[in-house]
Each structure stands twice: as C-alpha cells, then as structure tokens.
Chains A and B, each alone.
Chain A
Amino acid sequence: MFIFIFVPILAGILLALNVFLAPHKPDEAKVSAYECGFLALPGQTRNTFQIHFMIVALLFLIFDLEILLLFPLAVSLYQVSIFGFTIGIIFFIVLTIGFVLEIGSGAIALTNFNTEKQSNINLLPVDPYKNNGYS
C-alpha cells in the first residue's frame, strides 16, 4: 500500500512550498485570536460547553457499535438463515427499548433550550423537581 506513504508526502510537499514561497511577517494583531471588532478577552477559549454534545457522542458510540455488530450478520445472513436473524431481532429489541427511553427522557431534544427555566436535558425519565411533594 504505497498510497499510505505517498499521500502524506504530497501534503508535506504542499506545506514546504508554502514555507519557501510565501512571506512570513507576523505581528501582534495577526497572531492574536480572532475576535469580531475588539480585542480578544483572555479566558474565553476552551470554555465549558453544553452537556448535549457529550450525550450525542455517547449515543453515537452505542448505536454505531450496534450497527457495526450487525455487519457480520449481514455478510452471513444466508448461512445463519432464520435462527441468526431471530437473534439479530432480539438484539435490536433490546436496543430499541433503550432508544425509546432515551427519546422519552429528552436527551436529544434541543428545542426551547434557553426559554425554559429547567434544562430539557434530563437523563431521568421522571422529572425529579416536579410534583415530588417537597414544594
């Protein structure tokens, strides 16, 4: 597989061309972080971000694994026939229950995220702050 060596070399050649041919005169304004119209404030980068992105990544892990686990079944469906397919269906039922729970808990609902006081992202299917007898 010569292409695995060749393609990075190609990228390296292009970078080297740029280093040799282009001017290089950095100054303070150029190398500062991009900001729209005023000076960049320190400490605003790499901030905390919404948990929503993390949840999407976690769900992706589970579901991608699920689909990749089905690839061997897809390749050998005519050898394993109806028995293998039944096992696959059982596997899917379990995952579908999890998926329904996840939709019901609002893990991927982003609508009205800022207008509601309570966050929509709530991993519990029952809202613990609502009608629990303490208020």
Chain B
Amino acid sequence: MNISNLLTNLNSLLFNILDVLSILLPVLLSVAFMTIIERKQLAAHQRRIGPNTVGYYGVLQPFADALKLILKETIIPSQSNKIIFYLAPVSTLVFSLLGWAVIPFGQGIVISDLTLGVLYTLALSSLGVYGILLAGWSANSKYAFLGSLRSTAAMISYELILSSAILIIILLTGSLNYITIIEIQQAIWFIVPLLPVFIFYFIAVLAETSRTPFDLQEAESELVAGFFTEHSSVPFVFFFLGEYSSIVLFSCITAIFFLGGYNIPEIFINETIINVQAIVLGFKTCIFTFFFVWFRATLPRLRYDQLIELCWLNLLPVAVAFIILIPSILITFEISPY
C-alpha cells in the first residue's frame, strides 16, 4: 500500500468520525436540555420556578446531574446476572441513539440515506424492548421482574398501533425513504388529511416511549421503579438517556411524518451559510417535545388493564379500519400522490 492510498483511507475515516460526531454531539446536548426543559415546563404548569440555581436560570442543571451520577457508586446485586445486568442499559442507550442515523436534518444532511429508512426506525424501536426485558430478568428482583413484564407487554402492544399508523403514511408516499416522505409533503403536510391517524399515532408514541399516561413502569406505589429498580449510577443514566433520547427522536420523526420535516413555505430563499432547514426541523421537533411534557402535566396515569384494553379493543380496530379506508379512497378516486 502506498502513501497516498493510506492518506485517502485516513481521510475518509476522519470524515466518517466527524460526520457521526456532528450528529451525535448535538443530539446528546439536546437530550440533556430535554431533561431541564421538562422540569422547567412542569414547574411552569404548576406555577413553580423549577431548578434555578446551577448556571443561569438552571440551564446547567442536567450537566450537574450527569456529573453527580457518574461519580456515584455502581451497586451490582449479588444475585444478578452480571453481564446481562450491564448489557441491558447499554443496549437501551445504543438502540435509541442509533435511530438518529437515518434522520435527515436538511436537504442531503443525513448520516445514511437509507432506502428503507422507515423500516430501520421500526426495527430499532422493536429492539428497544430487549433492554427492558433483559434488565428485568437479570436483576433477579421481584419488583424489577414484574415491572419489566408490564412494560414489555405495554410496549409491544402499542408498537402495533405505531407501525399501522406508519403504514398509512407509507400508503400515501409509496416510499420508505425519509427524504422522499419529506419532499412529497411540499404539497401539503400530512397532519391535514390524516388528523385522526396523527392522533392515534401520537398515543402510540406516548406509550412507546413509556410517558404519562402510559408510564406504568414508574407507578411508584405499585412497582418501586419498574424494571430498573436495581440499577444505579451509570446504568441508570443509560436508561434515563435512552428514554429521553427516544422522546426527542420520536418528536423528530413525528415532525417528519406529519409536519413536513424540514419543509417551509417558501417565504424567503436561503442562500446564506445558515442551514434554515435544520432550524425549521428543530422548531417542529420542539412543538412535539412540548406536547410530551404537556401531557405529563395534564393527564392521570391509566390502570394496567385499561392500558391493554385501550390498545387491543379500541385503538387496533380503528387502526385496521384506517388501513382499509385510506387505500380504498386512493384507489376509488385514482389519486396518485407520487
């Protein structure tokens, strides 16, 4: 191998590293700020101030929390399966961060422009269940075990609703590629024709990220802390980061599916170096993260049997009906959106 070949290889490796870092660092920062936004916004809903000591207006609070948790002692229960006990939180974090690989932040600004991007997202959200299952099993504690059973049953039930809502969008776009989905929405954002679909899609997303009103894993009076009862310090941070990363990720995906992603009505033509498209996508994502916290401040938690029956007896028939109805309309009126 000659020198120039080696240099080219090194160059492409460096480019790859920068590529990944330029996506992942802002993502991790936004996940950190999501936690402080949640606390501040919950405080605002209840007319409190919220955290305001660390940094200006408490902005640096998540970094102080992360530093504290890294410096805490990791307690591994003696009866647990040690390897799986570590593997479970790592897999939760990894699977929720890997979802960012296919999100387009602007025209062509994406780590990997997969043709099957939507299927990739669905697969990763299915794999997220394994972290919960392994954590509950490996801790070998009855609270963790019961919590993981309940979380797993809830998550896999609502995944059906999520994938059928996504199927309806695929029916309209005819492509599994995110950039195609966004470009088709230049005509109209999908939230306008598909408002009912959006509603049950968002319910499924709330359950999929296990947020209120579906956060049964954190029903404090029944199951101490759900499947991560025995996890402490950095393994706990991984679960926490994974949960908030998937909140931001799903807000972003919702913005792409229903609000047209980085599309803006062409008020002005962007010829500057500032990427207005990414800012637009960020703004739309913020709308949905606001919704997440708003629901947490407003809604009471469902009982477990209500949760399962809501999914199987109410939402799933509606989802199936929409899967029949929407292609019927498309075929009857011969509307071809692509």
List A residues at the B interface (Cβ < 8 Å).
1-4, 6-8, 10-12, 14-15, 17-19, 21-26, 30-34, 36, 40, 44-47, 49, 52-53, 56-57, 59-60, 63-64, 67-68, 70-71, 74-78, 81-82, 85, 88-89, 92, 96, 99, 103, 108-111, 113
Do the beta carbons of B141 and A34 come within 8 Å of each other?
yes
Whether A82 lies near B331 (C-beta < 8 A) is yes
Tell me the bound Cα distance from A89 to B328 in angstroms: 10
Question: How distant is the Cα of A56 from the Cα of B311 in the complex, in angstroms?
Answer: 11
Listed stretches B31-39, B86-94, B267-275, B285-293; interface member: B86-94
Q: Let me know if A85 and B327 touch, CB within 8 A.
A: yes
Is B234's CB under 8 angstroms from A14's CB? yes
Q: Looking at the complex, which one of A2, A30, A40, A56 makes contact with B19 (CB distance below 8 Å)? A: A2
Q: Which residue of B137, B323, B328, B338 has the most chain A CB atoms within 10 A of its CB atom? A: B323
Chain A facing B: main interface SS:
helix
- A56 to chain B minimum Cβ distance, whole angstroms, is 5
Does A22 lie within 8 Å of B174, measured CB to CB? Answer: no
* Number of interface residues, chain B, beta carbon within 8 A: 77
Query: Which residue of chain B has the shortest Cβ distance to A31 in the bound complex?
Result: B78
Question: Smallest Cβ distance from A36 to chain B, in angstroms?
Answer: 7
Interface flag for B263 (CB, 8 Å): no
Report B's interface with A, CB cutoff 8 A. 16-17, 19-21, 23-24, 70-79, 86, 90, 93-94, 97-98, 100-101, 111-112, 119, 137, 139-146, 149-150, 152-153, 156-157, 159-160, 163-164, 167, 170-171, 174-176, 224, 229-230, 233-234, 237-238, 304-305, 308-309, 312-313, 316-317, 320, 323-324, 327-328, 330-331, 336, 338
A89 nearest CB neighbor, chain B only: B324
Known: A60-B159, A82-B331, A113-B305. 20 other contacts (CB 8 A): A8-B90, A10-B24, A15-B90, A17-B234, A18-B233, A22-B70, A33-B230, A40-B141, A45-B79, A45-B145, A49-B146, A56-B153, A71-B170, A74-B171, A76-B174, A78-B338, A81-B331, A92-B320, A103-B313, A110-B304
Name the prevailing secondary structure of the B interface residues: helix
Q: Which residues of A contact B149 (CB under 8 A)?
A: 49, 53
* Closest chain B residue to A57, Cβ basis: B156
